[in-house]
């Protein structure tokens, strides 16, 4: 069985000309037949890409040698199928849409290496915080972690103000984690600006923990949601057991798929009463085109 390689990484640094930077990345990525999404912002980059190991390595070397982006720490995983339909290079003003009077380039939480993470989270004096969205936490998490039940990361400030600031002493140690680490960088910087003094973050996120820590010692329970067509990965970073609803992007278990509310490509029990009839007809037509393309052996790229 052949595998497609997948890399995920981010890097905070100042980019003066994001448009020139994105053109350079696009040129190399297209030449190497890479797929995925690459975000370029004035404060850094964030990406998940798939392709051959050679092509991905060429891009990483180009970033280091031609664009001066050093100390990149990519997380490598693999998939039996290409987890992206196309390449998307995106420019935007911020890496993540979290606003406030804080500077992630200057101040953020203390890194905890995966090898030291178990000791940290087993300490009863530490508050463990999962800063992912609520649909991600359903698939798996670390035991005894607080789930903010956010629909999107932009809800994090509200959670801090309505929950943490009211219930926690700001000297208390807080350890947080997310998929690849970038949300913790932003969240920890935000919390330090709000006056919390002892904020820690899992270096490289859950994916780095699963890669670096022997599975016999894993304290992770379940699967980890990823933002590509694999939907989730297991404890050995293999493709997981979930699929995704096109209508609402919610991950679906085998039980969810057997629900009477599930219609492939159209709706599931999480969105059956939330999307309009017009939306469902549009999704239904899209799924029809995908099925026809598969029958003909062609690619279907979906909505642009």
Q: Domain map of the chain by residue range?
A: 4-91, 110-221, 251-296
- In the structure encoding, which two tokens stand for residue 136, read together? 């991600």
Q: Quick one: residue 37, left, alpha or beta (phi over 0 = left, psi -120 to 50 = alpha)?
A: beta
pLDDT > 90: what percent of the chain? 83
Rg for the chain (alpha carbons), in Å?
20
- Of 178, 184, 224, 271, the catalytic one is 178
Phi, psi (deg, nearest 5) at residue 300: -125, 125
What is the 8-class DSSP label of residue 203? T
| Domain 4-91 class in CATH | alpha beta
pLDDT confidence of residue 295: 77
- Global pTM reads 0.88
**110-221 CATH:** 3.40.250.10
Helix (H, G, I), strand (E, B) or coil at 66: coil
Number of DSSP helices (H) and strands (E) in the chain, helices first: 10, 15
Is the model's pLDDT at 304 over the cut of 50? no
Neighbour order of strands in the sheet with 35-41: 75-79, 4-12, 44-51, 35-41, 87-91
Active site residue 268: no
Q: Do residues 103 and 41 make contact, with C-beta atoms less than 8 angstroms apart?
A: no
pLDDT confidence of residue 99: 77
For tokens 């190399």, the residue is 28
Q: Do residues 203 and 123 make contact, with C-beta atoms less than 8 angstroms apart?
A: no
Q: What is the pLDDT of residues 89-108, one digit of tens each?
A: 999 998 887 877 888 888 99
């Amino acid at each position: 069985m052949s595998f497609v390689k997948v890399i995920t990484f981010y890097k905070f640094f100042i980019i003066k000309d994001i448009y020139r930077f994105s053109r350079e990345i696009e040129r190399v990525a297209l030449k190497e037949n890479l797929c995925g999404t690459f975000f370029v912002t004035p404060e850094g980059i964030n990406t998940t890409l798939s392709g051959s190991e050679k092509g991905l390595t060429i891009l990483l070397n180009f970033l280091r040698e031609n664009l001066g982006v050093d100390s990149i720490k990519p997380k490598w995983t693999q998939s039996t199928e290409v987890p992206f339909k196309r390449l998307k290079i995106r420019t935007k003003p911020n890496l993540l849409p979290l606003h406030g009077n804080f500077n992630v380039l200057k101040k953020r939480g203390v890194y905890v290496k995966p090898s030291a993470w178990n000791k940290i989270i087993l300490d009863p004096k530490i508050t463990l915080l999962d800063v992912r969205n609520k649909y991600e936490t359903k698939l798996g998490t670390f035991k005894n972690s607080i789930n903010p039940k956010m629909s999107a990361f932009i809800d994090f400030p509200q959670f801090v103000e309505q929950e943490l600031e009211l219930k926690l002493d700001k000297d208390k140690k807080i350890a947080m984690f997310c998929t690849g680490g970038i949300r913790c960088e932003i969240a920890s910087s935000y919390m330090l600006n709000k006056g919390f003094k002892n904020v820690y973050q899992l270096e490289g996120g859950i994916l780095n923990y699963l890669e670096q820590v022997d599975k016999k010692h894993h304290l992770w329970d379940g699967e980890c949601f990823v933002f590509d067509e694999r939907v989730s990965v297991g404890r050995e970073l293999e493709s997981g057991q979930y699929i995704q609803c096109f209508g609402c992007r919610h991950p679906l278990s085998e039980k969810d798929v057997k629900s009477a509310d599930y219609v492939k490509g159209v709706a599931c029990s999480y969105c059956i009463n939330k999307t309009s009839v017009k939306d469902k007809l549009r999704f239904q037509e899209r799924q029809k085109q995908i099925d026809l393309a598969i029958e003909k052996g062609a690619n279907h790229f979906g909505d642009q």
